[in-house]
């Protein structure tokens, strides 16, 4: 599959998910990226898939009604003497890679540069042309494979956190990040880039704690764009393609963080946002993959602040939301 075909395939799936969500009048959770609080992972390497791969595999699980969210490559199946069931269709996961070329000679020096990077040797990229591209490989759900070790077929759900436990983790993130949050009796939430602060409605205005944190993590996603943090460019005009991109990054970031904490994340019901995403996705097949990559980076940054301290249970559990 060529790189452009990979982007086309992923984008068409995401467009379908968004279209279906609009048709359902926003019922349910469009980003159900974890099952039983378990993210899609490779059952052999224990690697948890990242970025847009979570959406690809979640949609595959939903389509075929699988109970498990564990995956294997063809070579792993062979090494385990497993047998793929007749008629099984593989899913695919993607990862980014780079080619390196000498700017003067145009010689492919990828192998040399990778070896230098592997031993942390300094590389002068001023004289190198870097060409990013997507690679993919096929994976199979464990339910598509016979003769695997018994433990691979066992459902290992992580017990869902109670509301007080979710509050502990969420508040730890907010507190440890030292993000400035100003509560105002209003209906809008936004990130003030110039003053590097988040302005959000008062806690009591939210129907429940989950909705508060969904909103908070969306705005914290914008907060990560600051030059002091992940340095995303958000100097754009409202309504532009760049604006739509940043809003999608924030939505996906909130989805990743909330899924990690066991909070159900519903996509925004702002139809203008969704329609702008759909229009851009039809014109730019790399849009959603790039947004998911940036969102994963932002989510990692935010989740890193989660250092649960059970001694603070009472403090956080008493918050009225």
Instruction: Write down the pLDDT at residue 313.
Output: 39
The residues spanned by each domain of the chain are: 38-156, 163-317
CB 253, CB 298: distance < 8 Å: yes
The C-alpha atoms of residue 218 and residue 160 are separated, in whole angstroms, by: 22
Residue-level length of the chain: 321
Query: Each residue of 158-206: pLDDT tens digit?
Result: 667 788 888 899 999 999 999 999 999 999 999 999 999 999 999 999 9
Q: Token pair 């459902």 is at which residue?
A: 155
Q: List, in sequence order, the alpha helices (H) in the chain.
A: 3-23, 52-64, 74-79, 110-118, 163-177, 209-223, 241-261, 271-283, 287-303, 313-317
Please tell me the pTM assigned to this model: 0.79
Average pLDDT, the chain: 85
SS3 assignment, position 79: helix
Element (H, E) at 184: strand 181-184
β partners of residue 146: 83
Q: What are phi and psi of 86, to 5 degrees?
A: -60, 135
What is the model's pLDDT at position 219? 97
pLDDT in tens, 202-240: 999 998 888 899 999 999 999 999 999 999 988 777 888
- pLDDT, one tens digit per residue, over 251-265 is 889 988 988 888 877
User: What integer pLDDT is reported at residue 154 of this predicted model?
Assistant: 85
> Can you tell me whether residue 190 is helix, strand or coil?
strand
């Amino acid at each position: 599959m060529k790189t452009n075909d990979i982007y086309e395939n992923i984008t068409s799936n995401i467009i379908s998910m968004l279209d279906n969500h609009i048709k359902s009048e926003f019922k349910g959770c469009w980003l159900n990226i974890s099952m039983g609080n378990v993210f899609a992972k490779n059952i052999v390497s224990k690697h948890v898939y990242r970025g847009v791969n979570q959406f690809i595999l979640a949609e595959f699980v939903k389509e075929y009604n699988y109970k498990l969210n564990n995956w294997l490559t063809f070579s792993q199946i062979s090494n385990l003497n497993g047998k793929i069931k007749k008629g099984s269709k593989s899913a695919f996961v993607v990862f980014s890679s780079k080619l390196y070329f000498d700017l003067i000679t145009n010689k492919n020096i990828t192998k040399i540069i990778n070896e230098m990077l592997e031993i942390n040797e300094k590389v002068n990229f001023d004289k190198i042309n870097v060409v990013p591209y997507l690679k993919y490989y096929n994976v199979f759900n464990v339910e598509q494979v016979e003769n695997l070790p018994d433990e691979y077929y066992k459902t290992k759900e992580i017990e869902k956190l109670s509301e007080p436990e979710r509050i502990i983790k969420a508040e730890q993130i907010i507190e440890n990040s030292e993000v400035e949050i100003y509560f105002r009796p209003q209906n809008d939430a936004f990130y003030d880039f110039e003053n590097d602060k988040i302005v959000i409605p008062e806690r009591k205005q939210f129907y429940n704690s989950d909705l508060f944190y969904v909103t908070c993590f969306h705005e914290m996603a914008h907060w990560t764009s600051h030059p002091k943090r992940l340095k995303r460019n958000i100097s754009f005009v409202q309504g532009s393609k760049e604006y739509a991109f940043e809003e999608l990054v924030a939505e996906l970031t909130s989805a990743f963080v909330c899924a990690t904490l066991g909070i159900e994340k519903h996509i925004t019901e702002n139809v203008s946002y969704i329609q702008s995403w759909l229009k851009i996705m039809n014109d730019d097949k790399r849009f959603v993959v790039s947004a998911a990559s940036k969102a994963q980076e932002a989510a990692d940054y935010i989740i890193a602040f989660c250092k649960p301290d059970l001694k603070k249970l009472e403090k956080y559990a008493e918050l009225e939301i």
